[in-house]
Structure 1
């Protein structure tokens, strides 16, 4: 009796114009969110997780698109599909910010280091590398630090507190090997290890330990 009632329900106008569009909308949010995270994992070199997410992404997408093809005369499904894609993109971006996956390279160019930025970053637990360079107006110092994405806000706060007009740039570090990073168990102290090495950058002249 219950099975009969279920089949009767899915053939009603309420299911076709309300329940089905909602299900398609939710399915699109799920598969687009997974897709956004999958692309991020691909860019981060996560070879194990990216294919797994791709499997579930396509699986959910097939379920959603199959319902669209079965109800081509239902315009509500079209709007639900498009709205789910838009919302899924937003949700995926929010999830990426919350997960804060990967490493970043923060590069700061200083004309004068009056507030001892290198020491402040080091005391906060960040590995620091310094390069002497020349700018348009004379000698400058380039300060490199490789950090986790979730630590970016704190690192930038230290930089701006030292010099609110400091020039800095931020980029993704795809591969980091043998670095000094924060010890998650002891705030403000760095892990023992070798000097930080960024494969994409040039030769570093001096390292602050």
Structure 2
């Protein structure tokens, strides 16, 4: 830590900037793991995050009046860290999701079969739309990593389908294994 406190000027700015980006990125990913119930991973990431935070904050606050540029560097890295954290999280795609698809009755079974051939579990429910038109409601539970694949299949075979996607906190039974 003395190494960082002895830095000044551009070298210190680079260290603050990079360390803060890493810290906020870890923080963003940690929150996702905690929200998904992954307590151990969340705790480990939290430990690393707070270690980095303490070092970065102490270096920013040291002689802050003489070097206010550190504050700007810190704030810019915070913003970029959030962006990078969300980007990485979307690639990791921890957890499960649920896709609901509303389509005309005649195409529901066909689309369900196509999705099932690709390894998706699909449940079909009959419903009614505007003017009592018959609809199929397809319920698909899947790993978040597979959302783009499922949506692409749905759009390919039924571009007018009404699609909603939701995160799932927990799930028991069914086709998808955690």
Both proteins in one fold, TM over 0.5: yes
Aligned to 1:159: 154
1:29 offset after TM fit, Å?
Answer: 0.4
Could you tell me which runs of 5 or more consecutive residues in structure 2 were left unpaired when the two chains were aligned.
none
Contact 1:17–1:76 under 8 Å retained in 2:
no
- Structure 1 distance, partners of 2:73, 2:12, is 9
RMSD: 1.9
| Pairs within 5 Å for 1:31-110 | 31-72=23-64, 73-110=66-103
- Structure 2 distance, partners of 1:50, 1:20, is 29
Q: Runs ≥4 in structure 1, deviation > 4 angstroms? A: none
TM-score normalised according to structure 1 size: 0.77
Contact 1:34–1:92 under 8 Å retained in 2:
yes
Contact 1:125–1:181 under 8 Å retained in 2:
no
- Name whichever structure is richer in helix by fraction: 2
TM-score normalised according to structure 2 size: 0.89
- Structure 2 distance, partners of 1:157, 1:121, is 11
Aligned to 1:168: 163
Name which structure has the greater RCO, CA cutoff 8 Å, separation 6+.
2
What are the superposed Cα offsets for residues 35-67 of structure 1, whole Å, 9 maximum, x if unpaired?
Answer: 100111121111111122111111111111101
- Structure 2 distance, partners of 1:126, 1:172, is 16
- Structure 2 distance, partners of 1:59, 1:136, is 57
Aligned to 2:104: 111
Give the length in aligned residue pairs: 172
Could you tell me which runs of 5 or more consecutive residues in structure 1 were left unpaired when the two chains were aligned.
1-5, 183-209
1:121 aligned onto 2:115: yes
- Structure 1 distance, partners of 2:19, 2:139, is 43
